[in-house]
């Protein structure tokens, strides 16, 4: 680009380790202009974050080195600058927002002190001028009551507000370039929509150039002007966002776009990318994507393709780019078919689990020696649902709505304050000892982070066989081995993996192991708490297809908790929408997405990320954040944020009522 603010040319960043040289960035080339938004996408380990750290010359030490290439920022060669010059540049002219604001903010300092630190260092502000600028910045990132908030500590704020504080620090010195590395990963749908809109507003006001690192192509479709696709440390395709979505030319880009579930897609299986990304310490010669590429031919294994123009302002590194023009259009740019009809709940399966007026309140204590109760957190407050055999019930809602507490009640990790969970018609908290073992066998769980939920000191064989040892101790060693091999086979893993440890497996393999462990006891129900949210796009497609296959084959039921609305639609037969401890709407998956009734459900769907840049749904930005469950609003708990609130909503709590067959809603818009 002739007017590029930043140009990265053939950047190579290597990390020297005991097991060899990890080529984290291996020839990346891209540029970004003033006021432009560039999205960098790719799977974990593709080199996205390391590329951004290299721009700031913050590669990990010891071992990390930029071994070649050029980084030219505003006409200056950053690789030629001294460490002191780079320290002056970071924060003042190039700033960065990291993924986890709680980890990047100092818990011992108020947010005001942390913003002021940057201004003192780079702008020399002191006294009233400094205080005024800090308040202005908090106001600029749309934080209400900034005079009070600047004295708060990070732990006293929600995730959305903490991420805004990180944004305020980043823009405090009016940089020319802002690098945002997965800044919305931990945010809810509505808070994410607020944050993305805020970034665009700040960009328009300041002509800021923005590099947005993400694995979510929906964010790219919504936010970015141009896209750079990374694989194995290289940029394999770059172009305008619309071109990349309409005419993807690299098989990897085509694969990423093909494996995304959307709000409009049907129940047909997702097209997953087979295999795993290469080990960056042992990248194959030739095209690094060739081992996974359906178009690969012998020369692809030998020749490393250069990044060349396929069309004006559209570069691709593929030896068969001329043929992928029509191939990509055929596989990706197609009108989604009508969703396959779901079986009506109750038509076949028996009831496996039932929640009746399920309630969990946590007392809030104050004091150390003579502690006293000062209030109650109403985490779950009168929830009813039925889960039938072979059915998937999806639970969606913002953080703090009670989804995970509901899951803990189902797993008997918490005792309900009122109401209960029925398993085969029996209250699970009234089960006798021998009956409890049967319940533990029948109801299993798979959690969000497979690395944390697997013991790093145990082999996969021991991990998968552990539920059998606990719940069926009478099995012989041969029977246990047979069940372990059978469970691994069900999730598509080879038996030889049984002798490996968790750290030797990929993220997708670890999640498959967690699912295999849940399947060893032949459960009737599996609780999936954000079980696919930590996975890359391609691995997520593999696991979601696998969940559907296992359900069709074994008739197992799922309680599926997630914040990704497209994933919930793909997996679920019925969906319940939760807000501040209550179910506000339940319906079949197709019915809920086609005809949402509750204003909160409508806002969630309107704020869901688009599947294409031309998706022009009207976005509804909610006021404020989810109120505290410690002091929920009177009447309808959603009314302070509801765009359709009426006077009665602040006075009378609505009851969940059936509006049509299988479709219930708790809203005064549909009568009381």
Domain with residue 48: its CATH number is 3.40.50.300
Q: Are residues 646 and 534 in the same domain?
A: yes
> What mean pLDDT do residues 348-364 have?
88
CA–CA distance, 559 with 546 (Å, rounded to integer): 16
Q: Are residues 364 and 506 in the same domain?
A: yes
Q: Tell me what percent of the residues of the chain surpass a pLDDT of 70.
A: 94
Residues contacting residue 253 through CB under 8 Å, at least 6 positions apart = 229, 236, 237, 244, 328
With bands split at pLDDT 50, 70 and 90, how would you rate the model's confidence at 163?
confident
Task: For residue 427, list its beta bridge partners.
Answer: 422
Q: Which tens digit of pLDDT belongs to each residue from 550-598?
A: 899 889 999 999 888 888 999 999 999 999 999 999 999 999 999 999 9
Q: Are residues 220 and 364 in the same domain?
A: no
Q: What is the pLDDT of residue 368?
A: 66
310 in a structural domain: yes
For 126, counting Cβ atoms within 10 Å of its Cβ (0-12 exposed, 13-18 middle, 19+ buried), the class is: exposed
With bands split at pLDDT 50, 70 and 90, how would you rate the model's confidence at 341?
very low
CA angle 36, 621, 216 (to 5 degrees): 50
CA–CA distance, 39 with 223 (Å, rounded to integer): 8
By DSSP bridging, strand 525-529 and strand 418-423 are unpaired
* Domain C-terminal end among 279, 299, 331: 331
Asked whether the beta carbons of 483 and 468 are under 8 A apart, the reply is yes
- The Cα diameter of the chain in Å comes to 76
CA–CA distance, 596 with 545 (Å, rounded to integer): 26
CA angle 258, 262, 267 (to 5 degrees): 85
Strand order in the sheet with 574-579: 443-446, 525-529, 557-561, 392-396, 574-579, 582-588, 663-665, 657-660
Residue 76 has pLDDT above 80, yes or no: yes
198 in a structural domain: no
* Whole-structure pTM value: 0.84
Strand order in the sheet with 308-311: 94-97, 177-181, 209-214, 37-41, 226-231, 234-240, 314-316, 308-311
Q: Are residues 371 and 255 in the same domain?
A: no
Residue 116 host element (H or E): helix 111-123
Q: What is the pLDDT of residue 492?
A: 77
Residues contacting residue 129 through CB under 8 Å, at least 6 positions apart = none
153 in a structural domain: no
611 in a structural domain: yes
Instruction: Kindly tell me the sign of the dihedral angle through the C-alpha atoms of 135, 140, 141, 142.
Output: positive
With bands split at pLDDT 50, 70 and 90, how would you rate the model's confidence at 336?
very low
Reduced 3-state DSSP string for 53-80 = HHHCCCCCCCCEEEEEEEEEECCEEHHH
> What mean pLDDT do residues 390-398 have?
92
133 in a structural domain: no
Q: Are residues 360 and 324 in the same domain?
A: no
Q: Are residues 229 and 368 in the same domain?
A: no
* Domain C-terminal end among 331, 366, 385: 331
Asked whether the beta carbons of 381 and 409 are under 8 A apart, the reply is no
Q: What is the pLDDT of residue 156?
A: 82
Q: What is the pLDDT of residue 266?
A: 67
With bands split at pLDDT 50, 70 and 90, how would you rate the model's confidence at 524?
very high
Residue 343 has pLDDT above 60, yes or no: no
Q: Are residues 364 and 305 in the same domain?
A: no
Higher pLDDT, 286 or 347: 286
Of 351-365, 375-389, 497-511, 577-591, minimum mean pLDDT range: 497-511
Q: How far apart are the first and last CA of the chain?
A: 61
Q: For residue 392, give both structure tokens.
A: 């998937």
Q: Are residues 550 and 457 in the same domain?
A: yes
> What mean pLDDT do residues 405-422 have?
93
Of 37-46, 325-334, 500-509, 537-546, minimum mean pLDDT range: 325-334
With bands split at pLDDT 50, 70 and 90, how would you rate the model's confidence at 1?
low
**Residue 41 sits in which domain range?**
4-82+216-262+269-331
Q: Tell me the residue length of the chain.
A: 672
Q: Are residues 441 and 532 in the same domain?
A: yes
44 in a structural domain: yes
CA–CA distance, 102 with 352 (Å, rounded to integer): 40
With bands split at pLDDT 50, 70 and 90, how would you rate the model's confidence at 370?
low
Q: Tell me what percent of the residues of the chain surpass a pLDDT of 90.
A: 45
Q: Which tens digit of pLDDT belongs to each residue from 260-316?
A: 888 776 667 888 888 778 888 888 889 999 998 988 999 999 999 999 998 888 999
Asked whether the beta carbons of 140 and 202 are under 8 A apart, the reply is yes
With bands split at pLDDT 50, 70 and 90, how would you rate the model's confidence at 652?
very high
Q: For residue 613, give both structure tokens.
A: 């840049």
Instruction: Kindly tell me the sign of the dihedral angle through the C-alpha atoms of 316, 320, 323, 326.
Output: negative
302 in a structural domain: yes
Q: What is the pLDDT of residue 333?
A: 36
State how many domains the chain has: 2
Q: What is the pLDDT of residue 663?
A: 95
Neighbours of 634 (CB within 10 A): 12
182 in a structural domain: no
Q: What is the pLDDT of residue 510?
A: 85
Which of the given ranges, 89-103, 287-301, 341-355, has the highest pLDDT on average? 287-301
Residue 244 has pLDDT above 80, yes or no: yes
> What mean pLDDT do residues 133-139 have?
90
Write the CA distances from 162 to 12, 169, 183, 193, 230, integer angstroms. Answer: 33, 11, 11, 15, 29
Q: What is the pLDDT of residue 388?
A: 94
Q: What is the pLDDT of residue 339?
A: 39
Q: What is the pLDDT of residue 144?
A: 77
Report the Cα 466 to chain-centroid distance in Å: 29
Q: Which tens digit of pLDDT belongs to each residue from 609-648?
A: 888 888 877 777 777 667 778 888 999 999 999 999 999 9
Residue 380 has pLDDT above 50, yes or no: yes
Of 86-90, 336-340, 510-514, minimum mean pLDDT range: 336-340
Q: Which tens digit of pLDDT belongs to each residue from 447-468?
A: 877 777 889 999 999 999 988 8
């140009």: which residue's tokens?
7
Instruction: Kindly tell me the sign of the dihedral angle through the C-alpha atoms of 100, 104, 108, 114.
Output: negative
* Domain C-terminal end among 331, 360, 376: 331
Residue 332 has pLDDT above 50, yes or no: no
Q: Are residues 466 and 603 in the same domain?
A: yes
Q: Are residues 522 and 390 in the same domain?
A: yes
Burial annotation 603-617 (CB, 10 A radius, 16+ → b, else e) = bbbbbbbbbbbebee
Residues contacting residue 449 through CB under 8 Å, at least 6 positions apart = 534
Q: Is 218 helix (H, G, I), strand (E, B) or coil?
A: helix
Residues contacting residue 206 through CB under 8 Å, at least 6 positions apart = 171, 174
Higher pLDDT, 504 or 552: 552
Q: What beta strand segments (E) does 436-521 contain?
A: 443-446
Q: Are residues 618 and 518 in the same domain?
A: yes
Q: What does pLDDT average to over the chain?
A: 87
Residues contacting residue 616 through CB under 8 Å, at least 6 positions apart = none
Which of the given ranges, 324-328, 475-479, 531-535, has the highest pLDDT on average? 475-479
351 closest CA partner among 519, 524, 522, 520: 524
């060899």: which residue's tokens?
20
Say what angle helices 251-258 and 537-554 make with each other, to 10 degrees. Answer: 50
């Amino acid at each position: 680009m002739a007017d590029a603010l930043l140009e990265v040319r053939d950047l190579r960043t290597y990390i020297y380790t005991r097991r060899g040289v990890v080529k984290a960035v291996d020839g990346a080339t891209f540029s970004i202009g003033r006021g432009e938004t560039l999205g960098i996408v790719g799977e974990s380990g593709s080199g996205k974050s390391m590329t951004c750290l290299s721009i700031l010359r913050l590669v990990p030490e010891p071992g990390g080195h930029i071994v070649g290439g050029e980084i030219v920022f505003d006409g200056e060669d950053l690789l030629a600058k001294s460490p002191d010059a780079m320290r002056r540049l970071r924060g003042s002219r190039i700033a960065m927002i990291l993924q986890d604001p709680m980890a990047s903010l100092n818990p011992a300092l108020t947010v005001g002190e942390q913003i002021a630190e940057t201004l003192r260092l780079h702008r020399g502000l002191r006294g009233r001028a400094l205080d005024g600028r800090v308040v202005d910045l908090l106001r600029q990132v749309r934080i209400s009551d900034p005079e009070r908030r600047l004295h708060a500590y990070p732990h006293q704020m929600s995730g959305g507000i903490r991420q805004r504080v990180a944004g305020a620090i980043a823009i405090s010195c009016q940089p020319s370039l802002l690098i945002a590395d997965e800044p919305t990963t931990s945010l809810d749908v509505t808070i994410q929509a607020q944050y993305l809109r805020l970034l665009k507003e700040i960009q328009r006001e300041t002509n800021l150039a923005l590099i947005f690192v993400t694995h979510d192509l929906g964010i790219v479709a919504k936010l970015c002007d141009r896209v750079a696709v990374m694989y194995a440390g290289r940029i394999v395709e770059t172009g305008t966002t619309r071109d990349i979505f309409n005419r993807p030319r690299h098989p990897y880009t085509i694969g990423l776009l093909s494996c995304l579930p959307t709000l409009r897609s049907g129940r047909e299986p997702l097209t997953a990318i087979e295999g795993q990304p290469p080990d960056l310490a042992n990248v194959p010669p030739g095209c690094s994507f060739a081992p996974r590429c359906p178009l690969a031919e012998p020369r692809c294994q030998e020749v490393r393709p250069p990044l060349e123009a396929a069309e004006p302002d559209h570069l691709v590194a593929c030896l068969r780019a001329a043929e992928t023009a029509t191939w990509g259009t055929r596989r990706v740019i197609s009108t989604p078919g009508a969703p396959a009809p779901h079986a009506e709940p109750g038509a076949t399966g028996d009831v496996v689990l039932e929640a009746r007026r399920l309630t969990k309140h946590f007392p809030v204590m104050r004091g150390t020696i003579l502690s006293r109760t000062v209030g109650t957190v109403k985490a779950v407050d009168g929830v009813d649902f039925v889960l039938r055999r072979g059915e998937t019930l999806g639970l969606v809602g913002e953080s703090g709505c009670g989804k995970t507490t509901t899951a803990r009640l189902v797993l008997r990790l918490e005792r309900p304050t009122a109401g209960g969970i029925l398993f085969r018609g029996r209250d699970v908290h009234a089960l006798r000892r021998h009956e409890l073992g049967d319940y533990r066998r029948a109801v299993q769980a798979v959690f969000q982070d497979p690395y944390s939920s697997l013991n790093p000191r145990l082999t996969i064989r021991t991990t998968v066989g552990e539920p059998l040892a606990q719940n069926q101790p009478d099995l012989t060693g041969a029977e246990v081995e047979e069940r372990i091999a059978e469970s691994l086979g069900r999730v598509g893993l080879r038996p030889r993996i049984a002798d490996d440890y968790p750290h030797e497996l990929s993220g997708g393999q670890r999640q498959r192991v967690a699912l295999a462990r849940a399947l060893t006891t032949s459960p009737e129900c599996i609780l999936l708490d954000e079980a696919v949210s930590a996975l890359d796009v391609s691995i997520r497609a593999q696991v979601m297809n696998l969940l559907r296959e296992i359900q069709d084959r074994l008739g197992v039921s799922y309680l599926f908790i997630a914040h990704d609305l497209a994933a919930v639609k793909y997996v679920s037969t019925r969906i319940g929408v939760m807000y501040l401890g209550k179910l506000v709407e339940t319906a079949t998956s197709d019915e809920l997405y086609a005809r949402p009734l509750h204003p909160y459900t409508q806002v969630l769907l309107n704020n869901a990320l688009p599947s294409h840049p031309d998706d022009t749904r009207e976005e509804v930005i909610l006021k404020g954040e989810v109120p505290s469950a410690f002091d929920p609003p009177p009447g309808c708990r959603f009314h302070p944020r509801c765009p359709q609130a009426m006077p009665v909503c602040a006075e009378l709590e609505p009851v969940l009522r059936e509006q049509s067959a299988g479709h219930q809603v708790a809203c005064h818009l549909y009568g009381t």
